[in-house]
Structure 1
Amino acid sequence: MPITTSQPTPKINKCGRRWIQAELESKVHRGQWIDPTDKTTVGEYARHYARTRPHGESTAARVESMIRNHVEGTALGSRRLGAVRPSEAQAWVTDRVQVLAPSTVRLLVAFMRGAYAAAVADRLVAESPFARVTLPRDEAERIVPLTVAQVRKLAAAMPERYRAMVVAQAGLGLRISELLALRVQDVDFLRRTARVEHQISRATRERIAPKTALSRRTIPLPDVVSTALAEHLRKYAPAVDGLIFHTSSGRPYPHAFYGTKVFGRAVTKSKLPVGTTSHSLRHYYASVLLAAGESVVAVAERLGHEDAKLVLTTYGHLLPDSEERTRRAVDDAWNAVSEATAEPSTAQGPPR
């Protein structure tokens, strides 16, 4: 007689069937019933979830890339949403660690956790398999902001038509999209302020609203920026709409053209650290303000950030030449205590 490992399907008596029916009806009544026949895949639901989120243009592009390359581009994407086990979710995370930086993996997992939380709310799954996955340690290398000398060197390495763009971004802390949208009417040379009213879309090169409500802001205009902009406008007339930095046809520069070709070549020419981008000038601006004693809240306002804590964690780096200030601060504190506790020269002998 052949040996078989299959087990006969257990018979359920009438009482058991009634209990199961009652349990199903109870779950339906409580809104806890999950349809076990739903065939929605992880990739399909990830796209549905992304479409429902109020993402800005750049975030939407990043999420689209994540879904296409790291969800749909893996075995997880074709799995049925409700069939993914926690061990599968962990294996997927471990696999992504091999090809992505730890910080990117964390963003990817945060997105998947959000998607599964929505799926739970939609009654498509009972619980999220990503709830307890182990994430890689994010030991990002400490960012050292550029020095004034390096920013000057970078500006000097730029073609003359783009030189003021480096000074303006470093002196105002603008995002590249805000820099490309700067107009003459946004700069008040008399009151020494610059106003961020728009940004340039990376996809369409059209003028659009700033990234967030707080991104629309007024920034103090330093003399170095005022001088650079005035000199630039003397040599290169603004576009019809007032755009300061523009192509020969009066259109905004494409992000990739300025950020990669023009800026990237100047970084190489000036021998700045590998990885220096236009965003490094924002790091520089924030770090200068923090080193000068500006409050985190004030720096967040200048940068157009909604979260002041994010400024502290992202931009709170010491400038490379701050060592002497640290030494002097400690020495001054010790010297002050020593002077306050020093005994007078006419001190009497020890007490009897």
Structure 2
Amino acid sequence: MATTGLTRGMGSFFKECEHPESRWSRCPHEYKIRYRNAAGRQAEESGFVTQDKAKARLAEVYHARKNSPQSQRKAERVQKYGGMNFSGYVAEWLKGQRDLGPASVRNLDSLLRIHLLPAFGSRRMGTFDHKVVEAFIQDMERNGVGLATQTNAFISLKAILLDAHRLGLYEDSPLAGVKAPQYDPRRAVIPSVSQLQEIRDAGDDAFRLVTDLMSGCGLRNGEAYAVNINNIVADDVYRVTEQVNQATWSYARLKHRKVGEYRDVPLPARTRRSIEWYADTYGTVDGYLLRNPTDIGRVMPHYVIDRKWRRIKKSGLADIPEGMVLYGLRHFFASNCLSNGIPVTDVAEWMGHRSIDITFGIYRHLMPGSISRAAQLLDLGLAA
């Protein structure tokens, strides 16, 4: 079956027969047409005796679609936004992002300022396609941009371009076929048990508490800084209710959760004792353990623990794996869970991941399962 196209957007006519196109005018088979209707869905019609009648019907459908109110509104949007440069479009787009928390706004501003606007600031919105996006990712790779930053920059660009696509600026999504930056699990540097102990012992009491919370309960940095004695809801359960916001230096809702939402995580006995010891030794303020060293009326800022971490790395007092960052303490929690057979669904929930795909993508190399291992276990079950 051959097809013949017309002006872009009009569709095509064809015959479903064994004859080549050069003989269509003489063969007895009817013509068919294929086009996209007003809803954008592909449609077909048949029963056209001549090529001229098939073309005439395609032209009729095309002009009806072009003159519909919906198409006219789309044309107006394309005219308004297609020639707008990226920086101007982003300024309008940002006004609609009212659900972003302060930390997300700060991160987005950084990505725009450092990566997206320098690359696309003056580019007209109507000129984006998959080649432009692919080139942007390749440039970040060549320039040695960290993979986490590459991923976040791509996600931000994707959100902006999908918004433009919904307005009708592109016939085909400029993201179609683009391979997003891929997470390399080797970058999740995880300390061994002995290395974790050395790291813990090299810090002061506040740093040791943070180490125990991140490695024992899987808390994020900011969640550990907001530790509260009243959140021990059972001997083996800690309730994560808030975090210290890096941008505002205040307590804020959890990532990916609304105000008032929480998640319960396992509380190892060692971590519980660490919390209780610190509270007995230093006291609390409304139940909070970690406070600003210069003013206990304020929250513990991120930079305090970050500085302690850098001093430990510089001191050489602990055997720290090459490339490990403070977040590696949280990676240890995931590794400990998965290597002991705890389901990845539970680990994803405890770590507060938005999707199990995130957990699986980062930590799948830590999961002990394999086809051979599964076959052995299934065989044992069948033999029982």
Which residue of 221, 228, 244 maps to 1:183? 228
Give the match for residue 195 of structure 1.
239
Matched, 1:114 2:159: yes
AA partner of residue 157 (structure 1): A
Report the CA distance between 1:181 and its aligned residue.
0.9
AA partner of residue 199 (structure 2): L
Matched, 1:252 2:252: no
Asked if structure 2 preserves the Cα contact closer than 8 Å seen for 1:170 and 1:282, the reply is yes
Report the CA distance between 1:152 and its aligned residue.
0.9
Report the CA distance between 1:102 and its aligned residue.
5.1
Between the aligned partners of 1:139 and 1:193, the Cα distance in structure 2 is 32
Deviates more, 1:132-141 or 1:154-163: 132-141
Task: Give the TM-score, by structure 2 length.
Answer: 0.68
Matched, 1:262 2:308: yes
What residue ranges of structure 2 are gaps of 5+ in the alignment? 1-59
Deviates more, 1:88-97 or 1:275-284: 88-97
State how many pairs are aligned: 306
Report the CA distance between 1:145 and its aligned residue.
2.3
What residue ranges of structure 1 are gaps of 5+ in the alignment? 1-18, 341-352
AA partner of residue 303 (structure 2): A
What do you get for the CA RMSD once the two structures are aligned? 3.4
Give the match for residue 165 of structure 1.
210
AA partner of residue 26 (structure 1): N
AA partner of residue 279 (structure 2): L
**CA distance change for structure 1 residues 57 and 316 in 2, over 3 Å: closer, same or farther?**
farther
Which residue of 244, 248, 263 maps to 1:204? 248
After superposition, what is the alpha-carbon deviation per residue over 1:267-310, rounded to whole angstroms, capped at 9, x for unaligned?
Answer: 34313023322311111111111111111111122212232232
Asked if structure 1 preserves the Cα contact closer than 8 Å seen for 2:225 and 2:244, the reply is yes
Q: Which has the higher strand share?
A: 2
Report the CA distance between 1:25 and its aligned residue.
5.5
Give the match for residue 23 of structure 2.
none
**CA distance change for structure 1 residues 253 and 132 in 2, over 3 Å: closer, same or farther?**
same
Give the match for residue 67 of structure 2.
26
Task: Give the TM-score, by structure 1 length.
Answer: 0.74
After superposition, what is the alpha-carbon deviation per residue over 1:189-217, rounded to whole angstroms, capped at 9, x for unaligned?
Answer: x6332111111111111111111239711
| Corresponding residue SS for 2:321 | coil
Q: Counterparts of 1:1-352 in structure 2 under 5 Å?
A: 26=67, 28-30=69-71, 31-34=73-76, 35-36=78-79, 38=81, 39-53=83-97, 54-74=99-119, 76-84=120-128, 87-99=131-143, 100-101=145-146, 104-133=149-178, 139=184, 141=186, 143-188=188-233, 191-213=235-257, 216-239=262-285, 241-248=286-293, 249-250=295-296, 251-258=298-305, 260-268=306-314, 269=316, 270-318=318-366
AA partner of residue 79 (structure 1): R
**CA distance change for structure 1 residues 125 and 142 in 2, over 3 Å: closer, same or farther?**
closer
After superposition, what is the alpha-carbon deviation per residue over 1:10-31, rounded to whole angstroms, capped at 9, x for unaligned?
Answer: xxxxxxxxx9xx6895265434
Report the CA distance between 1:132 and its aligned residue.
4.5
Between the aligned partners of 1:69 and 1:311, the Cα distance in structure 2 is 28
Report the CA distance between 1:312 and its aligned residue.
2.3
After superposition, what is the alpha-carbon deviation per residue over 1:129-181, rounded to whole angstroms, capped at 9, x for unaligned?
Answer: 44355666665635352222111111100023432221122111101111111
